[in-house]
Structure 1
Amino acid sequence: MIGRRRVMGYGIAGTLGAIGVGVGVGSGLVARSVARSVRPDTGRVDASPSRVSEPAPAPPFDTAPARGVLERLLAGHADQIELLAVRAADDVERYRIRTSVLAAVTVEGTSIAALLAGVGWYLKYVADVTVSLPGDSLGRLPAVLPTPRAPIAGAAAVKHRFALNDTENGYAGAYRSWAEWERTLDVLALHGFTEVLIPAGQDEVYRRVFAEFGYRPDELDAWIPAASYQPWWLLGNLQGFDAPEDPAVRQAGVTVVQQAADRLRELGLTPVLPGYLGEVPPGFARRNAGARVLGQGIWNGYQRPDWLDPRDPHFARIAESFYRHQADLYGRGTAYKMDLLHEGGNSGGVPMGDAAVAVMTALQTARPGATWVMLGWDGNPRRDVLDALRNCAPAVCARSEVLIIDGCSDRFAAFDREADWDGTAYAFGTIPNFGGRSLLGANAATWSDRYSKALAANGTALSGIAWLPEASSHDPAAFELFAELAWRPDPFDLSDWFAHYAARRYGTVDAAATQAWQTFAQTAYSLPPGTYSQAQDSLFTAWPDLSATSAVAGGPEMRYDATSFQSAVGMLLQADPALRTIDAYRYDIVDFTRQALANHARVLLPKIKAAYTGHDLPGFHTLTGRWLNAMTLLDTLLATDERFLLGTWLRSGGHDARALITTWGGRTPAASLHDYGGRELSGLIADVYVPRWHRHFAALEPVVAGTAKTWAQTDWFAMDDAWARSGKAYPVTAVGDPFAVANDVMAFLAAF
C-alpha cells in the first residue's frame, strides 16, 4: 500500500536551503527554462579552441511543458520567470523560489508539479495575485515582476493531490470546449495537483468493446445515455437516458478527452480514467451462454445497468477489450477509478471481496502496477473489499495499490479513517458543492484541524488530498485554501489566511475588502462538521412550497449568520473603484451579491407563509411582490457576467443539459432529484424559477383572500420538462454593469 511521508522545512518565508542534491546554476544538474531571449547554457567554459567542454548530464525532466502553462496563463510576464529542474534527493516533491540572475525570479522544482506549485506560491505570496477557478487578478501585476526578499522553500506533505469528482463532467458541463478544459487543467497544475479524474469519453470505449461482443450501434445507443448523464451510467446508477447524440458531437467529446489526457501526461501529471467493473448492456446473458449477469434494480427511479460477476470467465475477456480500446483512444494509464456497487445495487450473493480481487486481477493483467482509486462515500469502500485486496495472492496484490479518495473527511462529527479502512492509503477530501449548485462556504476550520492531526498521527495512512466538488469553477476561496493543505502539514491560522486573502485575490491591499473577507471567514467559511460539507442552497430554485427549507431533498438550512454576511457584501462593494477592472473582483461582486439575495429568500419565505396562514392579503401582496422583484433583480445581476449565463452553461448541449439542472430526467427521478443540479443563472431564473413562483403565488391568493378553501396544485415537473424540451436559445454575452446592479441589490436589501 502507499505510505505517507512527513517532511519538515515548509513555509512561505525564510531561507530553507537546497531543494536537493547539486542545486545551483551551472551545476550541471539543473535544466533551465527562461525567456527565449536568454542564451542557453551550453556547458562551454570559454571560446578557446584548446578547451573542450564536457556534455552536461541529462536534465531530470523537461521544463518546457511548465513553461507552456506560464505562457498560457501569464502571457505578458512568463518570460520573467526562470524555471529550473533539479534532481530530487528523496521522494518528496519540493520547490524553491529565489531571486534570479537571468530573470526577475527563479523557481526550482523536483518535478513539473512542484515547479508549477512553486510558481503559484510565488504569485500569491510574493507578487500578491492569484489565478483561480474562476477569476484572477493578473491585471494588477507590475510590468517588472517583484523578487522575493529571501528564498522561499516548499515541500509536498503528501504524494497524492487529487482533483475532480465522478459527476464533474455532468454538473460542470459535458460539452465544454478544449479551451475551457485547458484552462481548468492549467489552473489545477498551478495549484500543485498531480492526479485529475477524466471520466468523459468512455462511451466510445464501450461502443467499441461491445461491438466485439455482437451488439449493434442502435442497441448501444439505447443503453448509453446522453453526455450529461454519462457520469451516473459509469457509476452504475442509470442507463439509456435521452436520445443518441450526433456522431460529430460525440467525436468532439472524444477529441477533448484525448487532448486533456495528453496534456496531463505532458505535465507529468496522472489522468485518472475509469476502470472496468462489469457493466454490460441488456441481454448479455442471452448472447453469451453461461454468463452470470445480475440485475441491479432501481436508483432514484432509473434502471441500473446489469452487472457481470467479475469471477465469470467472460469478465476477463471484456476487461481485456476495455483496457485495450481505452488505451487506443486515450493512452495507457497508471490509475483507474472504480467503485463496486456505488450507492447500492445487488450483489446477488457474490462475495464482494472475491469480486474485488477479480477486478484487480483484470486491471493488473492489463496495467501492471496500476492504482485502483476508490471513492470514500456512502459505505464505500467496504471493509471486505479492502481486506481481500490486502490479503490476496502476491501475484496480484504485491504489485498493486489502492487509494481511497475520501469525500467525507469534513462531513461528519466522528472521523477515524484509520479505523474505517484499516491502514489503506487515503486522501483527505471534501465535496464542498453538490450538483454544481449556486452556494458559497466550506467547513474550512475542519480541514486545517483534521488534516494536520491525521498527517501527524503515528503510522497514518493519509497519503493525499482530494478536491472533489461535483462541479468545478465554484467558490475560488475554498479551492485556494484546500489546495494549500498539501503544502501545509501543520495547523495554520485561518483568520490570518483569510485576512490576507483579499489582497491576493484582488492584487492589492484594500481596507474594505479585507474587512469584508474577515467577515466571510467568520460566517460562510466557518461551517462546522456534523451532517454537511456544503452550505445551504437557494430557495429561489426550489419547487414552490411555503415551508421549503432547501431546494433539494435533505439539503441544509441556513448555516451561518446571514445578516453579517450581507453587511460584508456591502463592505466589499465599498472597495476602491480601481479594483473594478480586476476579473476576480468583478466575479466576486456578482457571486457574493447573488448569495446575499439568496439568503434573503430565507427571511422572506416564512413571512410569506405567515401572511398566507393569517389571511393577510395586503401583506401577502407586498411580500410576494418583493420575492418576485428580488428574483428579477437577481437575473439582471447575473446577466452582467458571462460565467453566470444560462447560455454559457448550455453550450452545445441539448435536452440533457437542460434536464440535468431542472427535472433531473424523467418524472419518477424528478420526485427525489429535481433541482439537485439547479443553480442561479441568468435566463434560468427568468424562464424557469420566476414562472414557477408566480404561478404558485397566484394559486394561493384566493385562499388568502378567503374566496377559496384550497389552492390548485401545479405539476411542476410538466412545467420544467416543457422548458427543457423547448430548445430556446440564450445569450452568451454579458450585459450591464455588475457594480451598478450590485449596489441596486444592496439598496433593495437595506430597504427591508
Structure 2
Amino acid sequence: MKKIFSVLLFLVVICQIRAEDTNITTMRKMTQRLFPQQASFFDFRLLNDTSTDTFTIKSEGNKIIISGNNANSMAVGLNHYLKNYCLTTISWYKDDPIELPKPLPNIPAEVTIKANVPTRFFLNYCTFGYSMTWWKWSDWEHFIDWMALNGINMPLAITGQEAIWYKVWSKLGLTDEEIRGYFTGPAHLPWHRMCNLDGWQSPLPKEWLSSQAELQEQIVAREREFNMQPVLPAFAGHVPAALKRVYPNIKTSRVSEWGGFADQYRCTFLNPMDSLYAIIQKEYLTEQTRLYGTNHIYGIDPFNEIDPPSWDADSLGMMAKHIYESVAAVDPKAIWLQMTWLFYADIKHWTTPRIKSYLRSVPQDKLILLDYFCEYTEIWKQTDSYFGQPYLWCYLGNFGGNSFLSGPVKLVSERLADALKNGGSNLKGVGSTLEGIDLNQFMYEFVLDKAWNSGQTDKEWFLKLADRRTGKVSPEARKAWEILAEKVYIQPAQVGQGTLTNARPCLKGNGHWTTKPTIEYQPKDLVEAWRLLLLVKDCQRDSYEFDLVNIGRQVLGNYFNVVRDEFTLAYEAGDIMMMKNRGDKMREILADLDKLVSCHPTFSLNKWITDARDMGHDAASKNYYEMNARSLITIWGDSYHLTDYANRSWAGLTNQYYSVRWDRFINEVIKAVEKKKAFDEEAFFNESRMYENEWVNPSNRINYNEGGDGIKLARQIYKKYAKEIIR
C-alpha cells in the first residue's frame, strides 16, 4: 500500500510540475515577445489556491515576482504592474511601441488581488469583419497577449469555420459552385454567419478557406495556453438554399429581409425540428473538434435581426430545445452561448413570455446569455435576471469600428457595480461585445479591470491612466483626463455614428442614419482637455501623440458641423460670398483633419488595404480582396441603407473619399444659388451613389501622405482654430 501511495504521490507532483511549467513557460514567452530586453527581470510562480482567480506581485532584489493560480491570472498581474508602476499601456495593436522605464520600478509592498467574477468575455461576431478580417498570425498573437493581460478567459473564436462548412456541405451533396457561391466575401462573413446575408461578393476563394483554417488552429492553441476557453461556433440553422435540391422535403424558410439587400441575398433557415438539423450539427461539430478541439462552449445565434419561423412562444421554446439537444447529442458537456442583442433589437416581438419560453427550454446552466449592450439597456433587469439562466454583463462601446469619442464612464461604473451587487447568483461575469476595435481602448480596460477587486476608485484609475498615457505624473494631463472622464465621456456609442465629415453631404442633419454626429457634452470641454494635454512638456510617447491626434480629430469633426450649418444659413439667405467663405473653411478643416490623422498609423487606410491585398496570390485575387475591403467601410452593401455604417476618420479615406464628396457638394450648392435655383438634393444623392460605387474599384488608386510629428501638428492646429472654435 505504501508503495502504491508513493507512486500516486510522485504522479501528483509530476502533474503539478508540468502544470507549473506550462503556465510559467507561457508567461516567459509573453514577456519575450512584448519586451525582450526587460524579460529577464520578471519571475513567475504558480499559486496553489485555485478556488478563485488570484494574482500577487512583489519585488525581490532586482526581480519582479508575479504569482497567479494560472497563466491568465499571472498576465493580469503583469499588466497591473505595467499600468500602475511602470506607467505603461500595452496597445491592442501590434505595431504600437511598448515603452518601459529603466530601471523597472520596485513594488513597495506585496499586492494581492482576486477576481470578482470567474468569467471575462470578449469580442462580437462583427469584430471579425469590421476589424479582424485581414489579420495575420502576428496581429492575432499580439491581440491574444492583450486579451490575457486584461484577464479575458472566454473569447469568441469563429475564424476558419468556412473550411469546415465546405466539407460538411460537400458531404451532403452540394457542388463547389453552390458552396462558395453561398458564402460572402471575407469582410462580410460575420453577417453570413449570423444568417443575415448570402452570396454577396461571392464566390469565396478556396485559398481563403485553407489559410483561415490554419490561422484558427494557431488562435485557439494560444488562447488555451492562457487558460482561455475559446467559444467556437455550432450549427444555428443557416443552410444553403441549394440544399433543397438534394433534400427536397426538408423544412426550410427564407428569413426576413436584412440590411436593404436585394432578395437574391436572403438566407435560408432550417427548422431545428427537422431530422436533418441534428445530422448537420453532428457533421459540423465532429469535424470542428477534430481540427480545433473544444472547450464545450458554443456560440449559437439563430435569430439575430431576423424573424424566426414562428413567433408562438411554445414554438420558440421547442426550437431552442431541439437546438440544444442537437449539440448535446454530440458533446454531452456542451454549453450554449447566446447573445441577447435580438431581445434589444426587436423588443416589439421578443415579449417576456416568448423570451422566457425560449430560455427556459434549455436545461438550467447549459445556456449562457450575453447581456449585450448594458451601457444602454440592461436586459437582465427586464427578464428577472434571465429567468435564472447564467448571464454576463457586457459593455458594447462601438458600432462599425467608427472613429468617435464615446463611452459613458460614470454610467458604466454605476451599472456594473449594481449588477455585481444585485445581479443575482447567476451573474457569472463581465465582458465586452464591441463591433469594432476603436479609438477608446481605455474604456474596455476600465470595464475589464472591474472584474478584479483592485480597490482602486474611478478617480484613482483615471489619474493612473493620465500618468501612463504620458509616462509621467503631469498635472496638465491629469486635469485633462479628469475633464474627459467627467464631462466628455458621458454618452454610449450609437448605432450609426460618425463626425459629419464622414457623412454623405447634406444641408441639414447628417444625411443618413449611419453617421450620427450627435454629442451630449459641451464642445468647449473637449477643447479644454485638448489644450491641457498640449501643455504637457517633454513628452514623446506614442500614446501621448495618439491622444493628441484622436482628440484633435474629434474637435475638428465637431467644428465642421458648426461651419456646415453656417454654410446652410448662407444658402438660405442667398449669400454667395458667405457660402464660398464657409465652403472654403469646410475644405480647410477636412484638409487639416487628414494631415492630423496621417501622423499616426492607427488612423490610416493603408494597413486595411495592404493587409487585404496581401491575402491574394495574383493581381486578380488581390484586387478582389481590396474591393471587398473598400466596400465594407464605404457602401457596405448593394443599397444605400448601410452606406457609411463603418465610417472611420482615416488618412486616405478622409482626403480621397469623404473630402471629394464634400467638395462636390459645396460646388453644386453654390452653382445652384448662382443660377438662382434650389439645390437638387435628389440629383446630388444619385451622383454621390454613383461615385461611391465607383470608388470601391481598386483601379481608383489611393495615395497616402503618412508620417509627420503629430504632437507638433496638433499644437499648430489648436493655435490656428482655438479662437474661432471657442468663440
Q: Could you state the TM-score of these two structures normalised by the residue count of structure 2?
A: 0.89
Greater Cα offset, 407-416 or 637-646: 407-416
Output aligned runs, 1:101-116, within 5 Å. 104-116=63-75
Distance 2:489 2:280 in 1: 46
1:136–1:584: 8 Å Cα contact kept in structure 2? no
AA aligned to 1:164 is: L
**Match for residue 345 of structure 1?**
307
Distance 1:74 1:599 in 2: 38
Distance 1:327 1:476 in 2: 33
**Match for residue 559 of structure 2?**
600
Query: 1:606-638: per-residue Cα shift (whole Å, max 9, x none)?
Result: 111111111111111111111111111111112
Distance 1:454 1:541 in 2: 36
User: How far apart are residue 589 of structure 1 and its match?
Assistant: 1.9
Question: Which of 499, 508, 525 pairs up with 1:547?
Answer: 508
Question: Which of 515, 520, 533 pairs up with 2:484?
Answer: 520
Question: Which of 432, 435, 448 pairs up with 1:470?
Answer: 435
Q: How has the CA–CA distance of structure 1 residues 137 and 526 changed in structure 2, closer, same or farther, with 3 Å as cutoff?
A: same
Q: Tell me if 1:233 matches 2:187.
A: no
Which ranges in structure 1 are unaligned for 5 or more consecutive residues?
Answer: 1-41, 43-53
**Match for residue 5 of structure 2?**
none
User: How far apart are residue 384 of structure 1 and its match?
Assistant: 6.0
Q: Secondary structure at the match of 1:96?
A: strand
Q: Tell me if 1:335 matches 2:307.
A: no
Distance 2:507 2:568 in 1: 5
Q: How has the CA–CA distance of structure 1 residues 489 and 95 changed in structure 2, closer, same or farther, with 3 Å as cutoff?
A: closer
Q: How has the CA–CA distance of structure 1 residues 443 and 251 changed in structure 2, closer, same or farther, with 3 Å as cutoff?
A: same
Q: How has the CA–CA distance of structure 1 residues 435 and 138 changed in structure 2, closer, same or farther, with 3 Å as cutoff?
A: closer
AA aligned to 2:363 is: C
1:402–1:425: 8 Å Cα contact kept in structure 2? yes
Q: Tell me if 1:360 matches 2:324.
A: yes
Greater Cα offset, 219-228 or 502-511: 502-511
**Match for residue 646 of structure 2?**
677
User: How far apart are residue 726 of structure 1 and its match?
Assistant: 3.2
Distance 2:91 2:44 in 1: 21
Q: Secondary structure at the match of 2:329?
A: helix
**Match for residue 334 of structure 2?**
370
**Match for residue 363 of structure 2?**
397
Distance 2:494 2:65 in 1: 39
Greater Cα offset, 639-648 or 410-419: 410-419
**Match for residue 695 of structure 2?**
723
**Match for residue 464 of structure 2?**
500
Distance 1:731 1:179 in 2: 26
Question: Which of 697, 708, 725 pairs up with 1:736?
Answer: 708
Query: 1:46-73: per-residue Cα shift (whole Å, max 9, x none)?
Result: xxxxxxxx98954654221122222211
Q: Tell me if 1:155 matches 2:114.
A: yes
**Match for residue 381 of structure 2?**
416
Structure possessing the higher relative contact order (Cα contacts under 8 Å, 6 or more residues apart): 1
AA aligned to 1:189 is: A
Q: How has the CA–CA distance of structure 1 residues 730 and 87 changed in structure 2, closer, same or farther, with 3 Å as cutoff?
A: farther
User: How far apart are residue 518 of structure 1 and its match?
Assistant: 1.4
User: How far apart are residue 473 of structure 1 and its match?
Assistant: 4.7
**Match for residue 29 of structure 1?**
none
Distance 2:294 2:379 in 1: 39
Query: 1:407-452: per-residue Cα shift (whole Å, max 9, x none)?
Result: 2211048971552512221111121110001011201111211111
Query: 1:54-101: per-residue Cα shift (whole Å, max 9, x none)?
Result: 9895465422112222221122212111111122252x1111111225
Distance 1:477 1:418 in 2: 31
Query: 1:700-731: per-residue Cα shift (whole Å, max 9, x none)?
Result: 11333353234352422211110101344546
Q: Secondary structure at the match of 2:235?
A: coil
**Match for residue 635 of structure 2?**
663
Q: Secondary structure at the match of 1:405?
A: strand
1:130–1:136: 8 Å Cα contact kept in structure 2? no
Distance 2:154 2:351 in 1: 23
Q: Secondary structure at the match of 1:628?
A: helix
Q: How has the CA–CA distance of structure 1 residues 602 and 494 changed in structure 2, closer, same or farther, with 3 Å as cutoff?
A: farther
**Match for residue 450 of structure 1?**
415
**Match for residue 183 of structure 1?**
142
2:88–2:100: 8 Å Cα contact kept in structure 1? yes
Output aligned runs, 1:121-160, within 5 Å. 121-134=80-93, 140-160=99-119
2:514–2:644: 8 Å Cα contact kept in structure 1? no
Greater Cα offset, 304-313 or 732-741: 732-741
User: How far apart are residue 139 of structure 1 and its match?
Assistant: 5.7
Query: 1:582-624: per-residue Cα shift (whole Å, max 9, x none)?
Result: 2211222221111111111222221111111111111111111
User: How far apart are residue 524 of structure 1 and its match?
Assistant: 2.5
Q: How has the CA–CA distance of structure 1 residues 565 and 82 changed in structure 2, closer, same or farther, with 3 Å as cutoff?
A: same
AA aligned to 1:690 is: S
Query: 1:512-546: per-residue Cα shift (whole Å, max 9, x none)?
Result: 2222211111233233x6xx568952111111112
Distance 2:371 2:307 in 1: 21
Query: 1:247-269: per-residue Cα shift (whole Å, max 9, x none)?
Result: 33443222222211111012211
Q: Secondary structure at the match of 2:269?
A: strand
1:586–1:738: 8 Å Cα contact kept in structure 2? yes
Question: Which of 677, 702, 713 pairs up with 2:684?
Answer: 713
Q: How has the CA–CA distance of structure 1 residues 570 and 391 changed in structure 2, closer, same or farther, with 3 Å as cutoff?
A: closer
**Match for residue 24 of structure 1?**
none
Query: 1:197-219: per-residue Cα shift (whole Å, max 9, x none)?
Result: 12222221211110011111111
User: How far apart are residue 568 of structure 1 and its match?
Assistant: 1.4
Q: How has the CA–CA distance of structure 1 residues 516 and 378 changed in structure 2, closer, same or farther, with 3 Å as cutoff?
A: same
Greater Cα offset, 742-751 or 334-343: 742-751
AA aligned to 1:722 is: E
**Match for residue 12 of structure 1?**
none
1:410–1:533: 8 Å Cα contact kept in structure 2? no
Greater Cα offset, 542-551 or 117-126: 542-551
User: How far apart are residue 191 of structure 1 and its match?
Assistant: 0.8
Distance 1:449 1:55 in 2: 46
Q: How has the CA–CA distance of structure 1 residues 89 and 69 changed in structure 2, closer, same or farther, with 3 Å as cutoff?
A: closer
Q: How has the CA–CA distance of structure 1 residues 520 and 637 changed in structure 2, closer, same or farther, with 3 Å as cutoff?
A: same
1:375–1:407: 8 Å Cα contact kept in structure 2? yes
Query: 1:644-677: per-residue Cα shift (whole Å, max 9, x none)?
Result: 11111122232111111111121x2x2x211000
Greater Cα offset, 647-656 or 625-634: 647-656
Greater Cα offset, 61-70 or 728-737: 728-737
Q: How has the CA–CA distance of structure 1 residues 252 and 297 changed in structure 2, closer, same or farther, with 3 Å as cutoff?
A: same
AA aligned to 2:472 is: T
Distance 2:96 2:241 in 1: 52
Greater Cα offset, 238-247 or 682-691: 238-247
Distance 1:349 1:587 in 2: 49
Query: 1:468-525: per-residue Cα shift (whole Å, max 9, x none)?
Result: 11112531221221111111488x6433322331102232112222222111112332
Q: Secondary structure at the match of 1:242?
A: coil
AA aligned to 2:508 is: S
Q: Could you state the TM-score of these two structures normalised by the residue count of structure 1?
A: 0.86
Q: Tell me if 1:618 matches 2:577.
A: yes
1:516–1:568: 8 Å Cα contact kept in structure 2? yes
Distance 2:698 2:16 in 1: 64
Question: Which of 433, 444, 453 pairs up with 2:398?
Answer: 433
Question: Which of 244, 248, 251 pairs up with 1:292?
Answer: 251
Q: How has the CA–CA distance of structure 1 residues 540 and 556 changed in structure 2, closer, same or farther, with 3 Å as cutoff?
A: closer
Greater Cα offset, 124-133 or 640-649: 124-133
Distance 2:543 2:377 in 1: 32
User: How far apart are residue 119 of structure 1 and its match?
Assistant: 0.8
